[in-house]
Amino acid sequence: MPRAHTYGAVLGFVADRAFGDPRRGHPVAAFGRIAGSLERRLWRDHRGRGALYTALCVGGAVAGAAVASRVVRSSAAASVGLTAAATWAALGGTSLGREARAVGAALEAGDLAAARERLPNLCGRDPQALDGQQIARAVVESVAENTSDAVVGALVWGAVGGVPGLVGFRAVNTLDAMVGHRSARLRRFGWASARLDDVVGWPGSRLTAVLVVLAGADPRGAWRVWRMDGAAHPSPNAGPVEASFAGALGVRLGGTLAYGGRVEHRPVLGGGNRAVEVADIERAVRLSGRVSLLALAVAVGGRLAWAVLSPPDLLGGAPTTPPLTETGLSPKPSFGWGSSPWLRRGCPHRPKAGGVSPPAEGWGSAPRSSNAGRAES
């Protein structure tokens, strides 16, 4: 039901804008607790165990969402409600903006201690090793990356896979944040979660970079830095997004940073631009908001367009079986008239000379049922 998804996605997006994430009782937090408990039981310093852990967590979440979708399929109102709830739970754009602005306000007030205290809510860097300018840069980079992870990617997978797509994407992204690190304990166990996150994050990151080019104040700068520097980033998905933000905002991102006592020297994105200032945090948050709105339009528009243009069989219709003839054999439609699902839609069928005419409805006319460091490669 494309319209149910559209209404639900819009309502969920509006709910995230209006309420953000609750401090307690968030569905993603509940998933995280279950995943954490399972990790303690399954952990071994082995990639195979990590792959099993990832499959159980993501597969269980997707299966549960698929069952819920099937249960409410017969009710348009219930389908809209389920999609809205899943969309709200999967999105995190409002909370992202609130945390970024809170750090920015502390920096503007000269309260470096408060800024350092709030920074871990956005990223996993060691705040005690950062000065004010480095904290501002970390916030802008986090806003850029999480615009893809917390908003655009979820909307893309919701458009592709409905509620199971939304839930699956959020499950993968959550596992990557939990175990997809290069620490000694998780280097091998978290490998599968990190690699799967790279795969499912690819479409959203590229769409985010494109939308930044369209929505930013400097489209040419965003495109130039993306094409020149995006591939140099160690993350295949964070690179295009952070580079496009750097170009659109006219700032320099990347460089040296510290995670849990470990120092990384990353390539500079937008090397010819100026350093990040505190005021750029607000600019990044506003750009993220514009990109999020465009992503919603693209996601729901793409879902509706696919529903209109796709043959019924590709939209999840019920399996179709041609009626039997008097001989007990299924008639075989001839090539040409009536042989293509694209031609069956409202196209009269020409009787086959000397043979059995296809039914007036045509075959297949049954009604439809409806980032801290990453684990090593």
The one-letter amino acid at 87: T
Both tokens assigned to 61 = 């979440």
**Any idea what DSSP says for residue 261?**
T
Q: What local confidence, expressed as pLDDT, does residue 125 receive?
A: 82
**Any idea what DSSP says for residue 74?**
T
The one-letter amino acid at 197: D
Lookup result for tokens 């299966």: 63
Both tokens assigned to 79 = 């389908």
DSSP string computed for 324-369: P-TTS----PPSSTTTSHHHHSS-PPPPPTTSPPPPTT-TT-PPB-
**pTM for this prediction:** 0.81
Q: What local confidence, expressed as pLDDT, does residue 369 receive?
A: 42
Taking CB atoms within 8 Å and a gap of at least 24, the contacts of 267-271 are 267/229, 267/232, 267/233, 268/229, 269/225, 269/229, 269/230, 269/232, 269/233, 269/239, 269/242, 269/243, 270/221, 270/225, 270/229, 270/243, 270/246, 271/229
Helix, strand, or coil here: 270? Answer: coil
- For the chain, give the number of residues: 377
> Please, which residues have CB within 8 angstroms of residue 109's CB and are 6 or more apart in sequence?
none
Q: What local confidence, expressed as pLDDT, does residue 362 receive?
A: 41
List the one residue out of 296, 266, 317 whose CA is nearest residue 138. 266
Q: What local confidence, expressed as pLDDT, does residue 182 receive?
A: 78
pLDDT per residue as tens, the chain (377 positions): 678 999 999 999 999 999 999 988 899 999 999 999 999 999 999 999 999 999 999 999 999 999 999 999 999 999 999 999 999 999 999 999 999 999 999 999 999 999 999 999 998 788 888 899 999 999 999 999 999 999 999 999 999 999 999 999 999 999 999 999 878 899 999 999 999 999 999 999 999 999 999 999 999 999 999 999 999 999 999 999 999 999 999 999 998 776 656 677 789 999 999 999 999 999 999 999 999 999 999 999 999 998 888 766 554 444 444 554 445 454 444 433 333 333 333 443 444 444 444 444 443 444 444 444 455 44
Both tokens assigned to 269 = 């994105």
